[in-house]
Amino acid sequence: MERATVAVIKYDRTPNALRKAVGLCDGFEKLKTTDKILIKPNAGQGLRRTQPPNGVVTTTAILGDLIGLLRDYGCTNITIGEGPILLPEFRWDSTRAFEWSGIRELAQSLGVNLVDFNEGEFVRFVMGRKRVEVSKVALEADFLIDVPVMKTHRQSMVSLGLKNLKGCLHNTSKKNFHRFGLDKYIALLNTKIKPDLTIIDSIYALQRGPWGDDAHRLDLIIAGKDVLSCDLVGSIILGIDPKTVPQFQEFAQMTGRPLDLESIDIKGERIEDVATKLEWRLVLAGETLSQDYEVKGIAMDDPGELVCTACGTTVWTGICQYLEENRGAEFDSIEFCVGLAPKAKEESRQVFLLGNCAITANKERKDTIRLKGCPPSIQDTYDILKEHSVRK
Ligand code: SF4
């Protein structure tokens, strides 16, 4: 493989920064003015109106500069496409995601198409012996520009170019990726969809994403034609050794690529001058709950990447609501299992299997309290805990 170039440029709040980044990595080398261009930002969810979208979604500043650059080049067929997470209980849907991120307003004001992958057709693939559905719009683009926002991620360590393409999946496939093995399937997906240009919007970097308000201003743009090379550079700037990131390890194994920077020409800033050190871990486990709600006698193993956003949000919220009401309580050795990973402990007296994955993972254990759902709702989680939890 030829040596990849990655540009690392300081964002100076003008379109010149992106122009320079794309120029340095020769990002438009294969772009034809007649191409059907798809820009894939990260606009995966819409949060509270009062929370700024910094670090959670791709900025409209970078997207606007990119559209301007493409138009200057002579391109006219430009679409922004994303498949936001659908989680009705939290009112997470495409409308809210596009509005909160400012992307709908941007698309309207600049006169470009905005496509919601969730409403379109999907193409079925067999990946690693599992069925996966990928947006047809994403597959049919002549020139795909992957524009993730820079994050550390509590499940996949980092969320950059490779991970951003998960937004091209059908909502069911998004959930299934966590059951199949998130890192391996991110890598497999990237063997099917290959961006022509990756621009990591690093104006902000989010710590312990995928959402939250712990954004750090870096004022950087990372750009290159090779997505893995961009991600390796992005990971180092986040302070995470790429060789320890499972999605990179999987992709490297599938493609025979190295995970060091020796085969990459880095242009612009020196990495050591701009690198930061962000944490990615956020343990969703019994100790956290015990501390936060000052309760005793509860256990929960961190499900890691084997729980998807849906259960990780609804079930966790239901548990928190219940414990909030029972602050300071002492329970008679109860355990919550969520996602595919945790096996209930022998010594737990009451085991709550919350969601279909937890039920599947513990099907041999008989004396459990089971809540079906994919995901179960917040209310059902709260209700089952309220009904069955035994206090000392
Ligand atoms: S049961 Fe929960 S963790 Fe499993 S796929 Fe459904 S929503 Fe995701």
Distance from the alpha carbon of residue 306 to the mean position of ligand 1, in angstroms: 9
Does position 96 have pLDDT exceeding 80, yes or no? yes
The span from the CA of 331 to the CA of 295, in Å, is 8
Length of the chain: 392
CA angle 193, 198, 200 (to 5 degrees): 125
Strand pairing category for 215-224 and 296-299: unpaired
The reply to whether ligand 1 has any atom less than 6 angstroms from the CB of 315 is: no
The span from the CA of 83 to the CA of 309, in Å, is 14
The mean pLDDT of the chain is 95
The number of the ligand 1 atom at minimal distance from the alpha carbon of 303 is 3
pLDDT value of position 98: 98
Q: What is the mean pLDDT of residues 33-54?
A: 95
Contacts of 248 (CB under 8 A, 6+ apart): 162, 228, 231, 232, 235, 242, 259
The span from the CA of 30 to the CA of 21, in Å, is 16
pLDDT value of position 200: 98
For residue 300, the 8-state DSSP code is -
Does position 41 have pLDDT exceeding 80, yes or no? yes
Distance from the alpha carbon of residue 179 to the mean position of ligand 1, in angstroms: 8
pLDDT, one tens digit per residue, over 172-218 is 999 999 989 999 999 999 999 999 999 999 999 999 999 889 999 99
Distance from the alpha carbon of residue 372 to the mean position of ligand 1, in angstroms: 10
Return the closest-CA partner of residue 290 out of 230, 242, 330, 262: 330
pLDDT, one tens digit per residue, over 301-354 is 988 888 888 898 899 989 999 999 999 999 999 999 999 977 999 999 999 999
Which domains are delineated in the chain?
A: 4-274 (3.40.50.11440), 286-388 (no CATH)
Ligand 1 binding pocket mutation candidate from 311, 336, 353, 362 (most atoms within 8 A of CB): 311
Q: Which ranges in the chain belong to alpha helices (H)?
A: 15-24, 60-73, 94-100, 103-110, 136-140, 161-164, 171-180, 182-192, 227-238, 246-255, 271-274, 286-293, 309-325, 356-361, 378-388
Q: 389 falls in which pLDDT band (50, 70, 90)?
A: very high
Beta bridge partners of 265: 5
Cβ-based neighbour number of residue 269 at 10 Å: 17
- Distance of alpha carbon 308 from the chain centroid: 11
The reply to whether ligand 1 has any atom less than 6 angstroms from the CB of 307 is: yes
Return the closest-CA partner of residue 22 out of 61, 62, 54: 62
Return the closest-CA partner of residue 148 out of 235, 212, 272, 257: 235
Phi-psi category of 212—alpha, beta or left, where left has phi over 0 and alpha has psi -120 to 50?
A: left
Q: What is the mean pLDDT of residues 257-277?
A: 96
pLDDT value of position 341: 76
The reply to whether ligand 1 has any atom less than 6 angstroms from the CB of 148 is: no
Ligand 1 binding pocket mutation candidate from 166, 302, 372, 374 (most atoms within 8 A of CB): 374
State the DSSP H helix or E strand holding residue 351, giving kind and residue range, or none if neither.
Answer: strand 350-354
Which residue's entry shows tokens 């998130």?
Answer: 182
